[in-house]
Chains A and B, each alone.
Chain A
Amino acid sequence: MILTLAHHELRNLFLSPLAWSILAIVQFIIAYLFLGQVDWYLQNQAQLKTMLNPPGLTELVVSPVFSNAAIILLLVIPLLTMRLIAEEKRNQTLALLLSAPVSMTEIVLGKYLGILGFVLINLFLITLMPFSLLTAGQLDIGMMSAGFIGLTLLLASFTATGVYMSTITTQPTIAAVSTFGLLLLLWVIDWAVNINTNKATEVTEYLSMLRHYQSLINGVFSSSDVIYYLIFISTFLVLSIRQLHADRLQH
């Protein structure tokens, strides 16, 4: 049942031009940044050779691409998730699912996986770019996998946040704005604290999405980072399910 809903969601997405244009635009921007990075690498290659222990292609090209991709998708994912439930509430089509033999958990997970499927297609296309470097050089596959896992978890967290924001409002735009706001806040949360004294730094450091992601794309695969993302995702999914239940009670 979850897969039925996910499939429906993914298919619906491709029925509208939104999905196609997002794929095209994201591809274009990341390709542009990727080429810039490759270009920079080629220009400085001579200089790098003189170094004793020079950073590799993966560190200089792939990691920055992953890091840029994260920021670009931080802007894009709220637009994908905003409609999920908010629009169904607004158009009063949610009744179709609510009166069918489908549980709230199935609704939330189905919709979540549908959008996640699209995000993963996007991610797959992005990772193809660094792989093209294999034709001309060598890549640190281990480091790249850590980065790939990091980006996957990060995008899955973005999507979970988006799903939750979409359940608490009937206006898709509000869902998009609040998803974006919350994600951005979690992205930069430890910046402000660092400027002032170091109070509560540990907490904000732990909350910061950027910090966990940074270590993964640098090739440090630590289970605590993975657990952070898994907790993050499940928290927002559970909140979404609870929100759907609560919707039937209040008003």
Chain B
Amino acid sequence: MSVTAAENQNLTSAHTNSREQLVSVKNVSRYYGKNKAVDNISFDVHRGEVLGLLGPNGAGKSSTMQMLTGNLAPSNGQIEINTFDILDEPKEAKLSLGYLPEQPPIYKDLTINEFLAYCAKINRIARSHHQSAIKLAKQRCGLDKMGHRIIGNLSKGYQQRLGIAQAIIHSPAVIVLDEPTVGLDPRQIKEIRALIRELGNDHSIILSTHILPEVTATCDRVLIINKGKIVITESINGLQQRIQSSSLLVAFNSPPQIKDLAAFEGTVSVEEIDSGRFRLHHDPTIDPSEKIVIRSVENKWGLTEITPEKLSLEEIFLDITCSENDGDIANVDTNINPVED
């Protein structure tokens, strides 16, 4: 039954098919009483992919993760980890699972070494590989020199790192991290993000976060959840494209008529912000700024400012999650398309 870290690694390289599907979630819902915390969500995660779970507080991120890791039973739907159903074959499924909950599950009376040795045992790592597994986990999480410290005396940041160490000690195929960088200082955050990227090469990782830049820094794909529903699933590149400019801010000393501006190719609409300043929405594929500059010189409009406006991830996020409050995903801002699949 025991699977060593090294064997697990071999398994990893044996399956050269990088699109191997490690996590499959089908139509999963979860009720707390009458309250629907997770509403019929489905998604897959492949090997070598880092999936970011994003959403406001109470969106159902943690519930989803608890269900993925067998800590919570779904009201209906099916979850498979590495082809094993989490409820029907929990042991097999959990062998390839590492989980860091919101609160790192650590015993404060133990030292780091003792705790990790216990984790190695309960995750069925072969006894002969214990030491190397513990060493690697400590090294990866920057705990090398802390082995003999009592966990209760460590700072929150170190406890968080230990939480990550216990999740990766058996080198599981699927790693689920609930807000992994909470409580860390900026340097540690950078290190942990790098670690997540590194692990993401041959494992699949699901992480939840509130911090939006973290998503761009670590994830390949993003799942935005609101009120238990998946609002968007999009690759990071796709998301970056959404962030691409689709409006221009222009200001003139002697402003032209609005209709003159609206006449530029690709312009969708023009609004006047205050006298002489306009916001010009345009088709993201056609950028009218060059023509505006040329025309401005020709007609002596006295162009003083021209700024492409980027929609930040925050704005997209707010847009999606707030418009969701009106109960209609389709009414999201024009440049955000709801999920197609």
Q: Which residues of A contact B (CB under 8 A)?
A: 1, 4-5, 8, 12, 15-16, 91-103, 248-249, 251
Complex contact A5–B122 (CB within 8 A): yes
- Over the window 83-117 of chain B, the binary record of Cβ atoms lying under 8 Å from chain A Cβ atoms (1 yes, 0 no) is 00000001110110111011101110110000000
Q: Is B231 an interface residue (CB 8 A)?
A: no
What residues of chain A lie closer than 8 Å to B92, measured between beta carbons?
Answer: 101
Q: Is B72 an interface residue (CB 8 A)?
A: yes
Closest-by-CB residue of A relative to B121 is A4
Selected contact of A15 from candidates B109, B118, B121, CB within 8 Å = B109
The count of chain B contact residues (Cβ–Cβ below 8 Å) is 31
* Given contacts A93-B107, A103-B91, A98 and B71 within 8 Å (CB-CB): yes
Selected contact of B105 from candidates A4, A93, A249, CB within 8 Å = A93
CA distance A92 to B105 in the complex (A): 6
* Given contacts A94-B105, A95-B101, A251-B32, A4 and B71 within 8 Å (CB-CB): no
What residues of chain B lie closer than 8 Å to A101, measured between beta carbons?
Answer: 1, 90-92, 94-95, 122-124
What residues of chain B lie closer than 8 Å to A94, measured between beta carbons?
Answer: 71, 105
Closest-by-CB residue of A relative to B87 is A248
22 examples of A-B residue contacts, CB within 8 angstroms = A1-B122, A4-B122, A8-B121, A92-B102, A92-B103, A93-B105, A93-B107, A94-B105, A95-B69, A95-B99, A96-B105, A96-B122, A96-B166, A97-B122, A100-B94, A101-B90, A101-B91, A101-B123, A102-B94, A248-B71, A248-B72, A249-B73
CA distance A4 to B95 in the complex (A): 17
Q: Which of B235-285 contact A (CB under 8 A)?
A: none
CA distance A92 to B99 in the complex (A): 13
What residues of chain A lie closer than 8 Å to B107, measured between beta carbons?
Answer: 12, 93
- Over the window 53-88 of chain B, the binary record of Cβ atoms lying under 8 Å from chain A Cβ atoms (1 yes, 0 no) is 000000000000010011111000000000000000
Q: Is B205 an interface residue (CB 8 A)?
A: no
The A/B interface has a contact count, at CB < 8 Å, of 71
Closest-by-CB residue of A relative to B108 is A91
Q: Is B119 an interface residue (CB 8 A)?
A: yes
Complex contact B106–A93 (CB within 8 A): yes
Complex contact A92–B101 (CB within 8 A): yes
What residues of chain B lie closer than 8 Å to A99, measured between beta carbons?
Answer: 69-71, 94, 97-99
- Over the window 1-37 of chain B, the binary record of Cβ atoms lying under 8 Å from chain A Cβ atoms (1 yes, 0 no) is 1000000000000000000000000000000100000
Complex contact A96–B119 (CB within 8 A): yes
What residues of chain B lie closer than 8 Å to A249, measured between beta carbons?
Answer: 73
Whole-angstrom distance from the CB of A220 to the nearest CB of chain B? Answer: 43
Whole-angstrom distance from the CB of B208 to the nearest CB of chain A? Answer: 15
Complex contact B70–A102 (CB within 8 A): no
Given A98-B69, A99-B99, A248-B72, 8 more A-B residue pairs with CB atoms under 8 Å apart are: A1-B122, A4-B122, A92-B101, A92-B103, A97-B122, A101-B1, A101-B91, A101-B123
CA distance A215 to B31 in the complex (A): 52
CA distance A94 to B107 in the complex (A): 10
